[in-house]
């Protein structure tokens, strides 16, 4: 039986609309972060489960694009980043999820397996508060690497800055290469870590795919749109 996405594409809807993707390469004004801290021996199982999340999102229709990134320096972590333009945009995405019981059921099942392995994620909502350096804007979906760093006395990251409700700030900057990302991290100081974007765990927007189709080819969303 064809999924909801397949049915929408079959009647002529574009993949962007079928996946409810935001067709923009813009700096998110609101960022939801789900941060998973890995424990020894849990990397491979967690990688598999993160891919299952992306497959479920593609199969049933993700209400919003998101990036999944994995640390390549610093502590072993996986972050899921979802950007929104407004608080209303965030609420609409949550309401859309509530109206998709099959997707919610699959995600809850996968999330329970993840929590058995590594516990619940650290989750917070942060607002864009500007930035510093040449990369004050962060066109989400651009770049194959991210540099994420806390803003504190010893770390001064360039790029877009986001502030959580507890006042903590993080800088986010994109880079096309691992070398470029490491240079940014070194310039920022201690606490700045490099993350690799994982297409197979992410739900890209249509514009992200158009900017780098070869990179996003392994995303379940792209595969389901064929």
CATH number of 4-225: 3.30.70.100
Does residue 66 contact residue 202 with C-beta atoms inside 8 Å? Answer: yes
* Rounded Cα–Cα distance for residues 78 and 56 (Å): 18
* Rounded Cα–Cα distance for residues 151 and 86 (Å): 23
Task: Name, in order, each residue with C-beta under 8 angstroms of 168's C-beta and a sequence gap of 6 or more.
Answer: 150
Does pLDDT of 71 surpass 60? Answer: yes
Confidence at residue 96, expressed as pLDDT on a 0 to 100 scale: 85
Does pLDDT of 17 surpass 90? Answer: no
pLDDT digits (tens, 9 = 90+) for 91-121: 888 888 888 888 989 999 999 999 999 999 9
Does residue 163 contact residue 135 with C-beta atoms inside 8 Å? Answer: no
First to last CA, the chain: 16
Tokens standing for residue 12: 């002529």
* Rounded Cα–Cα distance for residues 156 and 43 (Å): 30
Between CA 145 and CA 144, with CA 67 as vertex, the angle to 5 degrees is 20
Q: 131: buried, middle or exposed (CB in 10 Å: 19+, 13-18, 0-12)? A: buried
Does pLDDT of 16 surpass 60? Answer: no
Tokens standing for residue 181: 């990302």
Confidence at residue 25, expressed as pLDDT on a 0 to 100 scale: 62
Does pLDDT of 166 surpass 50? Answer: yes
Q: What is the largest CA-CA distance in the chain?
A: 56
Higher pLDDT, 52 or 222: 52
Confidence at residue 163, expressed as pLDDT on a 0 to 100 scale: 94
Length of the chain in terms of residues written: 226
Task: Look at residues 78, 80, 48, 79 and name the one whose alpha carbon lies nearest to residue 62.
Answer: 80
pLDDT digits (tens, 9 = 90+) for 123-163: 999 999 986 655 678 889 989 999 999 888 767 777 899 99
Residue spans of alpha helices (H) in the chain: 4-10, 15-18, 43-60, 87-98, 101-118, 178-188, 206-211, 220-225
């Amino acid at each position: 039986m064809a999924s909801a996405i397949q049915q929408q594409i079959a009647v002529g809807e574009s993949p962007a609309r079928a996946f409810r993707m935001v067709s923009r390469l813009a700096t998110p004004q609101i960022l939801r972060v789900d941060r998973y801290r890995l424990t020894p021996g849990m990397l491979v199982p967690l990688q598999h489960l993160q891919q299952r999340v992306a497959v479920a999102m593609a199969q049933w229709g993700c209400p919003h694009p998101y990036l999944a990134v994995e640390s390549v320096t610093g502590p072993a972590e996986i972050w899921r980043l979802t950007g929104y333009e407004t608080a209303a945009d965030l609420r609409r995405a949550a309401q859309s999820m509530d109206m998709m019981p099959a997707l919610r059921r699959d995600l809850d099942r996968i999330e329970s397996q993840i929590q058995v392995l590594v516990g619940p994620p650290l989750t917070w909502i942060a607002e864009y508060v500007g930035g510093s350096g040449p990369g004050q804007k962060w066109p989400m979906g651009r770049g194959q690497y991210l540099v994420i760093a806390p803003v504190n006395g010893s770390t001064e990251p360039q790029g877009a800055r986001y502030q959580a409700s507890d006042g903590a700030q993080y800088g986010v900057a994109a880079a096309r290469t691992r070398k470029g990302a490491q240079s940014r991290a070194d310039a920022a100081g201690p606490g700045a870590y490099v993350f690799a974007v994982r297409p197979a765990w992410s739900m890209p927007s249509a514009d992200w795919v158009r900017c780098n189709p070869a990179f996003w080819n392994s995303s379940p969303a792209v595969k389901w749109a064929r």
